[in-house]
Amino acid sequence: MIEIRNLTKIYPATGSSPMVRALDQVNLTIKTGDIFGIIGLSGAGKSTLIRCINLLERPTEGEILVDGLDVAKLNAHDLRAFRSRFGMVFQDYNLFMQRTVARNIAFPLEIAGVPAAQRAARVTELLELIGLSDKANAYPAQLSGGQKQRVSIARALATHPEFLLCDEPTSALDSLTTTSILNLLSDINQKLGVSIIIITHETSVVRRICRHMAVLSENRILETGAVSDLVANPQSALTRQLLKLEQTVAEDAADAFDALDAFEAEVHAYE
């Protein structure tokens, strides 16, 4: 289980750029075995949040506990072992263009010092999992976007991580390819028991594979819970908008009255 408590991340000012409070007092619990979606507008802090979870970014304040372990207290040696519990997948694949598919997948195993024979066996297994056994010796430039993302997922899984952190993994793919990648992620979750945290701006991704989700807005959690609950009973207009839920005319009117009430309250405060 990942417990995030009062997490604040500030990027300090540099040169001409002012400091940015990318996350502000974020609280979130992600259960082991879940597929957890994070949605929010651009700049809300989604990537920062998942980068803090595996300590690619150091939190400014707050705690992150992974199975009760306070990650801030890890020393350099433990940090390496800790990071190997996470695999990461990105929108633009981040494959090594000079390496074949097999050698891309083998890369984390090389870093971890796994002997060649074991590496080869693991790569064969992963190529089967992603359905690309015939592409072992191809180069990334010879693959479609969907195939590249499969290779990137295989590479992320090479060292048997417990968590897969996916930052907009299907945003560059067409809808059919998106479906095949979502099916693969679903299989990985169910068959291998890997917990998945997935950032997306596509409502279909959340609604098709996530069991729980959080909505981030301007560096804070707006709401979090079971996807079915948020779809059935969204607490905010942003959630409704991001999940592309139909808003009834009555709700439109209610929102307009709420806005008017808020405006009047503000005017009264001035008087």
Ligand X SMILES: Nc1ncnc2c1ncn2[C@@H]1O[C@H](COP(=O)(O)OP(=O)(O)OP(=O)(O)O)[C@@H](O)[C@H]1O
- Interacting residues with ligand X (CB under 6 A): 11, 20, 22, 40, 42-48
Q: Which stretch binds Mg ion (CB under 5 A): 7-15, 47-55, 61-69, 216-224?
A: 47-55
Please tell me whether residue 219 binds Mg ion under the rule CB under 5 A: no
Per-residue tokens: 110: 């090389």
CB of 235 to Mg ion, least distance (A): 23
Cβ nearer to ligand X, comparing 45 with 169: 45
Residue 89 touches which of ligand X, Mg ion, none (Cβ within 5-8 Å per kind): none
Residue 131 interacts, among ligand X, Mg ion, none and using kind-specific CB cut-offs from 5 to 8 Å, with none
**Which of 93, 95, 90, 122 minimizes the C-alpha distance to 109?**
122
Task: Tell me the closest approach of the beta carbon of residue 188 to Mg ion, in angstroms.
Answer: 22
Who contacts 183 (Cβ-Cβ below 8 Å, separation ≥6)?
none
Question: Could you tell me whether strands 35-40 and 195-199 are parallel, antiparallel, or unpaired per DSSP bridges?
Answer: parallel
| 20: partner contacted, choices Mg ion, ligand X, none (Cβ within 5-8 A by kind) | ligand X
Per the DSSP assignment, residues forming a β-bridge with 223 are: 215
CB-wise, 123 or 215, nearer to ligand X?
Answer: 215
Chain position carrying tokens 């150091």: 58
Sole window of 42-50, 141-149, 157-165, 258-266 interacting with Mg ion (rule: CB under 5 A): 42-50
Is residue 47 within the footprint of Mg ion (CB under 5 A)?
Answer: yes
Minimum distance from CB of 46 to Mg ion (Å)?
5
Nearer to ligand X, 23 or 66 (CB): 23
- One DSSP character per residue, 190-229 reads HHH--EEEEE-S-HHHHHHH-SEEEEEETTEEEEEEEHHH
Sheet holding 69-70, edge to edge: 20-30, 2-11, 61-66, 69-70
How far is the first Cα of the chain from the last one, in angstroms, to the nearest whole number?
50
Tell me which residues touch Mg ion (CB under 5 A).
47
